Every structure is written in structure tokens, then in C-alpha cells.
Amino acid sequence: MRKMRPVLALVVIGLIWQGLVWGWHVPPYFLPSPLAVGQALMTDAGPLTQHALVTGSESLLGLALAAGLALIIGVALDAWPWLYEVVYPLLVVSQTLPVMVLGPLLILWFGFGLAPKVILVILMSFFPVVVALVNALQAVPTAQSDLLATMGASRWQIYRTLRLPLGMRGFFSGLRVAATYCVGGAVIGEWLNASAGLGYYMIRAKNGFAIDKVFAAIVWVVALSLLFNMLASGLARAFQWQLRHLH
Amino acid sequence: MIDLQDVALTLAGQPIIAPLNLTLTTGFTAVIGPSGAGKTTLLNLLLGLVPPTQGQITVAGTPVHGVHAHFAYMPQASMLLPWLTVAQNIALVARVTHRPVEPARLAAVLAAAGLTAERDRYPEQLSGGMQQRVAFMRTVMNPAAFRLLDEPFGALDAMTRAQLQDWLLTLPEALQRPTLMVTHDIDEAIYLADRILVLSARPARVVADIAVRPKHRDRTWLATQGALHQRLYALLQSDSVQEVAHAE
């Protein structure tokens, strides 16, 4: 029953929203009712699914590349303290820059295809993963690494046996955060320039004052974000299982 | 043979270990000293985790520099890897050095530790005493010629600690290789060690080197060692120890 409470809250919010739209006669081009959004989701299910597949692919590709890059750079930052001292402050400062302002430049440099959208996703997803990974690696007790060193373990062995398994907890925690950001990155990329995708669909719907369709696209964005978050959680569980059973 | 020749350590201008000359050969040696005397630092020096400011440490005639694998080391905490089973944790040294594990030897070590039934369980499923036994057996499986134990049972309650001390004495494995154990427990030192080194407060120096050689070592014998306990306690409280502490 406790797990149903958020669903119940959502239903109550939906009812209040529906009541307000009906009661105040809010025009649908300003704020459509939840029922209108539901109707748009049904009538435009085909095109929405097609556009969601495009956005989902861009997001997933960008997220996977960001995760791979974060894994390599995170381990390198942990392994070489001088690299950490040089690069990490720059990484932190780089986060003060709203990534979307780079959109026009990315289009200029990488054209109108898939690349600028995927790069935007990478830029938005990379930071939470690398920071969580580096923090987890640096939280590994020195005494535990020392114990392995006194057993004759090489540096790589210490990473393989201890640091990476512990660091991956941080990696997956960052990945779960990034999984919710990545769809937003792809949508922003599609706003700037695209011929398909939920961002492109939203712009077209907005230009046609079909605000119910804009909301329908938002529902899809939320659904994709939740799906990727669940995927990241599943990967984390699979990693923990693999750690215990494939030794 | 472990040989410390004029080994001293100073950190941030503070002398931690006064020049030490010490030879450790066979048997079980316990190191006791006031809290913060530098007992664990002495182990870190031996392990190569901290380089001495002066002097030289040699193990079997070879000078040691940096971290090395001459010692089988048991830290204060069990430090078991939570994703490895009991058997895998015990055989960790073989895993990291790519050496094969002899199933018969592993089975014997598990049996000696009373952990045969727990071999496929994970550390979180074990009691604190069991975890320390796994950690000790991980040290036993390390083929290094010397053992260093840093307060191996210090984190346990008095009853479990006493049980593990008794258990340790029943293990032929425990007594075969030269062992240096740091402890803050005077009775533990008397009960387990053939030789007790008493360190002063910082900077640590050896203020007493006492041989303990009973014919039969058990709790009844330990109960008769009140005089030795008093002597060690007095040494830890002595002016020489305190003076150094005050001079810090």
C-alpha cells in the first residue's frame, strides 16, 4: 500500500488539474487537460513511438559513450594523482557552463546529423558518472590497498581485485543520475536542429499550438528517463551478481 | 631473520621511532606499548609502507625498500572482500599472485579454522569472531616466511578474543613461522608470545625484552602469571616510559 502512495498522489494531482481546466475553462492551446494529453498519446501513438525511438537511440548512444569515457578517465584520475590535480578542477569548473549553450557551436563543428546531439548527451552525462566514480575510488581505504600490496599484488591486480569492484558502486550510482539527464540532452539537441526525435516533435507541436501533443512528448521523455534509470539499476545489480558468481 | 639496524622514523619533525636495533628470528614475538607509541608504525616500517628516516631493515639478509611481500600481514580490521566467499578470501594471496590453490591445503586450513561449513558463505553472513578467523587463515595461506599481526583480535569482545587466543594455540600452523604481533593486551602477549618487547611512548624504543617459555601454555598457567603481568604493567607505567611521553 505504501508503494501505491506516489501513484495515488499523481492521480490526485491529475484530478485537480482536470478540475481546474474544466472549472476555469482554460483554453487547450494554453494548458490542455490530462484527458486531452492522454488522448494525444493514443491518437499520435505511432509517430510518438517513432520519435521516441530516435531520441532514445541518441540518448542511449551518448550515455554509453559517456559511461565508457568516464570509466577510463575516472580510473586514470585515480591512478595518477598529478593528472587528478590538473584535470579534476577543470572538470568541476566546466560544470558551471550550461551545456545547452554549446549547441549552436556543436552544430557548426559537427554538422546537422547525429553527432551534435550525441555529444550534448555525452557532455551532460559524463560529469555525474566520472565524479561518482572518482569519489568512490578515492574512498577505498588505503589500508586495504596496502594489504594487497603486501601480498605481492601489482597495481593492476589491486585495481582488478579491490579498487574497481568498490569504485563501480560509485560508477553505477553516477550512471543512474546520468540516465535521467541523458534524454534531456538529446531533446535539447533536437530543439536546435533535427528532422526527427521527441525534441523535433515538441517544436512542431508547439508551433501548431498543439500543446496536448507537447505534453504527450513530455510524458514520453519522462518514460524514457525512467526506463534508462531502471536499466542503469539493472546493470548495477548484474555487476554485483557477476562479481560474486563469476570468480 | 628480520634485522633492524639503527632504524628511526621522524614525521613532520616529530620523532616517532627512536633508533632501533632489533633482531627477530624464530618464535612468536609480541610488541606491547602505550597507546600511540608507534607499534603499528613499526609494522608499517617493516612492511615497507613507510620508509625509515634512517637505518636499514633487512629480511633474510636482503635490504628492503618500498612495499614488499616478505611478510604475511594481518591488519587490525579483517578487511575481507565482501564479494568473495570465505574460501576465496582465505585464498586471496594465491589469486592476486596468480598461484594455484591446492584444494587439499585449502580444505585443511578451512577445517583448522572450523569454517568448513562456511566455505561458500560471504563475510556479511559471519560473526565478528569468524571474520577474524578467516582473516587469520588468509594470513596463514600467505607463503611469506614471516608473519606480522597487528592487534589481530583487538576489535573483538573479551570472550571471543579469549576463544580465538585458545584456538590460535591449537593451530600448529600458527606456530610454525616466526611471528611478530602487536597488541595492547598484556595477557594476550603473555599467553601467546615466546618473547615480549615493551616499547616506550613516542619516540618508541625498546625498554624491555622478556622471554616467556612455559612448559605448558594454557589458561591455568596464564592465571599464575600475575607477577609477569605486574612487571609488564609497571614497565608500561614506569618513569622511563612516562618521561618519554612527557618529553613529547
Tell me the pLDDT tens digit for each residue of A85-104: 999 988 888 888 888 888 88
> Which chain A residues are within 8 Å of B47, Cβ to Cβ?
146, 150
pLDDT band at B216 (very low <50, low <70, confident <90, very high): confident
For residue A3, what pLDDT band results from cuts at 50, 70 and 90?
confident
Q: Across the interface, do A240 and B83 touch by the CB < 8 Å criterion?
A: yes
Give me the mean pLDDT over the B102-116 stretch.
Answer: 88
Helix extents (H) in B97-157:
103-112, 128-140
Partners of B5 in beta bridges: B56
pLDDT in tens, B11-51: 888 899 999 998 988 889 999 998 888 899 999 999 999 99
Q: Please check whether residue B226 is in contact with residue B61, taking contact to mean a CB–CB distance below 8 angstroms.
A: no
Residues of A in contact with B65 (CB under 8 A): none
Question: What pLDDT was estimated at residue B124?
Answer: 95
The number of residues in chain A equals: 247
B96, A144: Cβ pair inside 8 Å? no
A156-163 long-range contacts, CB within 8 A, separation 24+: A157/B96, A158/B96, A159/A75, A159/A79, A161/B81, A161/B92, A161/B95, A161/B96, A162/B81, A163/A78, A163/A137
Q: Which residues of chain A have a CB within 8 Å of the CB of B95?
A: 161
Q: How far is CA B93 from CA A154, B9, B81, B90, B100, in A?
A: 12, 29, 12, 8, 10
Confidence of residue A61 (pLDDT cuts 50, 70, 90): very high
Please tell me the predicted confidence (pLDDT) of residue A247.
61
Specify whether the CB–CB gap between B105 and B147 falls below 8 A: no
Interface-testing mutation among B96, B122, B146, with chain A (most A C-beta atoms within 10 A) = B96
Task: Kindly tell me if the per-residue pLDDT of B242 is higher than 60.
Answer: no
**B87 at interface of A, judged by CB pairs closer than 8 A:** no
Q: For chain A, what is the mean pLDDT?
A: 92
What is the reported pLDDT for B162?
87
Sign of the CA dihedral running A44, A49, A52, A54: negative
pLDDT band of B245, cuts 50, 70, 90:
very low
What is the rounded average pLDDT of the residues A37-50? Answer: 93
Nearest in space to B228 (alpha carbons), one of B178, B191, B173, B182: B191
- In the three-class reduction of DSSP (H, G, I as helix; E, B as strand; rest coil), residue A25 is classed as coil
Total Cβ atoms within 10 A of residue B97: 15
Residue with cell 578470501: B89
* Distance from the Cα of residue A200 to its chain's centroid: 19
For A157, nearest residue in chain B (alpha carbons): B96
Instruction: Please say whether the beta carbons of B221 and B165 come within 8 A.
Output: no
Mutate to test the interface with B, among A140, A145, A146, A151 (most CBs of B within 10 A): A151
Q: Name which of A32-46, B42-56, B103-117, B162-176 the model is least confident about.
A: B162-176
Convert the pLDDT of each residue in B152-166 to its tens digit. Answer: 888 778 888 888 888
When comparing pLDDT for B217 and A125, which is higher? Answer: A125
Give, for B231, the enclosing helix (H) or strand (E): helix B226-237
Instruction: Please give the helix or strand (H or E) that residue B180 lies within, else none.
Output: strand B179-182
pLDDT at B248: 34
Least Cα separation, residue A230 to chain B (angstroms) = 23
Instruction: Tell me where in chain B the CATH 3.40.50.300 domain(s) lie.
Output: 2-70+145-247
pLDDT digits (tens, 9 = 90+) for A10-23: 999 999 999 998 88
Contacting B with CB below 8 Å, chain A residues are 141, 143-144, 146-153, 157-158, 161-162, 165, 240, 243-244, 247
Contact A143 B71 (CB under 8 A): no
pLDDT band per the 50, 70, 90 thresholds, residue B202: confident
- The whole model's pTM is what? 0.84
Query: Are the beta carbons of B83 and A247 separated by less than 8 Å?
Result: yes
CATH class of B2-70+145-247: alpha beta
Does any CB of chain A come closer than 8 Å to the CB of residue B17?
Answer: no
ipTM: 0.86
Task: Output the average pLDDT for chain B.
Answer: 88
The SS3 call for residue B166 is helix
- Selecting from B69, B81, B95 the residue whose C-beta is nearest the C-beta of A150 gives B69
CATH number of A32-245: 1.10.3720.10
> Which of B45, B76, B78, B79 is the best mutation test for A, with the most CBs of A within 10 A?
B79
C-alpha distances out from residue A184 to A56, A204, A223, B182, Å:
10, 17, 12, 57
Cβ of A151 within 8 Å of Cβ of B97? The answer is yes
| Rounded-to-integer distance, Cα B15 and Cα A247, Å | 45
| CA dist., res. B166 & res. B218, Å (int) | 8
